[in-house]
Amino acid sequence: MIKALKTELKKNLYLPYFLLGIVLVLCFCFMADAVRGNDGRNYSVFEIVLLSRKLKLTSSTNYAWISMWAKGFGSWLRLIVPVIVSSAYVMNHTEERKVEHRYFLYSRESRLRFVLSKTLGAAFSAGLILAAGYVLFGVILLFFFPQSASFSEDSRFFLEYAYGKGSALVYILKIFLGSFMYGIYASLFTVFLSIFISDRYVLLSIPVLFQYAVQISINKLFLEHMFSKHADKILALDMTNILRAFSHKYWWHEFAGVWILLLMVVLVYYLKVKKEAGQ
C-alpha cells in the first residue's frame, strides 16, 4: 500500500507540474485584493508590497503580516484552485484510461489498495501543492509586513482574536496544515468525477463551476441571514475556515468534513472498481 501510494505521489508531484502549481498559487495570491484606498480603488497584495516602503504599515491592522497573508486567499484563487491542484492527477488519469492501464493494475494488486493509492495520492498531492504555494507566499510577505508585536495593544488583541496567538513559526505550521487540508478538499470533486469520466477538459472545468456555485450560494445565504442567529452556522459552511486551523471556532467542522468526504469518494471508487472487475 505504502509503495503504491508513493508511486502515485511521485506521478502527481512530477516536478514541472509541482513547480507550475506553486507559481500559479503565488500569482493568484499576489493578484488578490488587499486594501481599498482613499481613492476608492482596490489595491492588490502585489501593489501593496511595492508601496510598502512608502506606507506607515503599523497604522492599520490591514497591513499586518498575518492579515495580508489571509487576504492572499481571495475569490479568484478559491475558484481556480481545483484546476491548479488536480491538473497532474487528471493528466495521469486520462492517459491511463486511454491505454486501459487500470485493468493491468487490477490484476497486480488488491482492489482496495488500488483505490486507496489512487484517491489518497491525488488528494495528498493536491494538498501539498496548495500548502507549498500558500506557505511560500506567507514567508515572502514576512519580509515586507510587520508582525502582531509591532502594533498597539488594541490592534494586537484584534489580530489575536481574528487569527489566534502564536509566533511566526506557529502561524506557518497552522496554515500549512490548513492549506494542506483545503487542497485535499479542492481535489475531491475532481477525483469523484474521474471515477466516471475520462475527458480531461470536463474534469478540469466542472469542478470550477461547482466551486463557483458553492461560493455564490454561501454568500447569498449569509446576506439573507446575516442578522439572524444562523449567520455563524452559514459561515461555517465556508471551507476556507480550515485555513485558520485551531484559530477559527468552526475549523474542526471543516477538518472532519474533509475526511468524511474523502471516505465517501473512496467508497464510491471502490464500488465502481469492484463492478468493473466483475466481482
**Residue 260, pLDDT score:** 92
pTM of the model: 0.87
Start-end of H helices in 99-165: 101-108, 111-141, 153-163
CA-CA distance, 15 to 161, in Å (whole number)?
A: 39
Closest CA to 67 of 256, 244, 265: 244
Q: Which three cell numbers stand for residue 207?
A: 469542478
Q: How far is CA 229 from the centre of its chain?
A: 28
Give residue 254's pLDDT.
77
What is the pLDDT at residue 137? Answer: 94
Residue 255, all three cell numbers: 477538518
Cα gap 115→118, rounded to integer Å: 5
Work out how many domains the chain is built from and give that number.
1
Integer Cα distance of 91 and 82 in angstroms: 14
Nearest Cα neighbor of 128 from 86, 65, 79 is 86
43 forms bridges with which residues in the sheet?
Answer: 35
Instruction: Look at residue 93 in the predicted model and tell me its pLDDT.
Output: 78
pLDDT at 33: 83
Residues of the chain with pLDDT below 50 are 104
Q: What pLDDT is recorded for position 24? A: 94
| pLDDT (0 to 100) of residue 274 | 76
Q: Which residues contact 191 (CB under 8 A, 6 or more apart)?
A: 86, 89, 118, 119, 122, 123, 265, 269
pLDDT for the residue 135: 93
Q: In three state form, how does the secondary structure of 226-252 look?
A: CCCCCHHHHHCCCHHHHHHCCCCCCHH
**CA 275 → CA 57, 105, 278, distances in Å?**
60, 15, 5
Q: Torsion over CA of 85, 272, 258 and 124, rounded to 10 degrees?
A: -40
C-alpha cell at 208: 470550477
Q: Which domain holds residue 117?
A: 2-276
Q: Report how far apart, in Å, the C-alpha atoms of 224 and of each of 153, 179, 220, 231, 234 are.
A: 35, 29, 6, 9, 10
Contact 68, 148 (CB under 8 A): no
Q: In whole angstroms, give the CA distance from residue 80 to residue 198.
A: 20
Q: Is 117 helix (H, G, I), strand (E, B) or coil?
A: helix
| Residue for grid cell 509566533 | 167
**Confidence (pLDDT) at 20:** 93
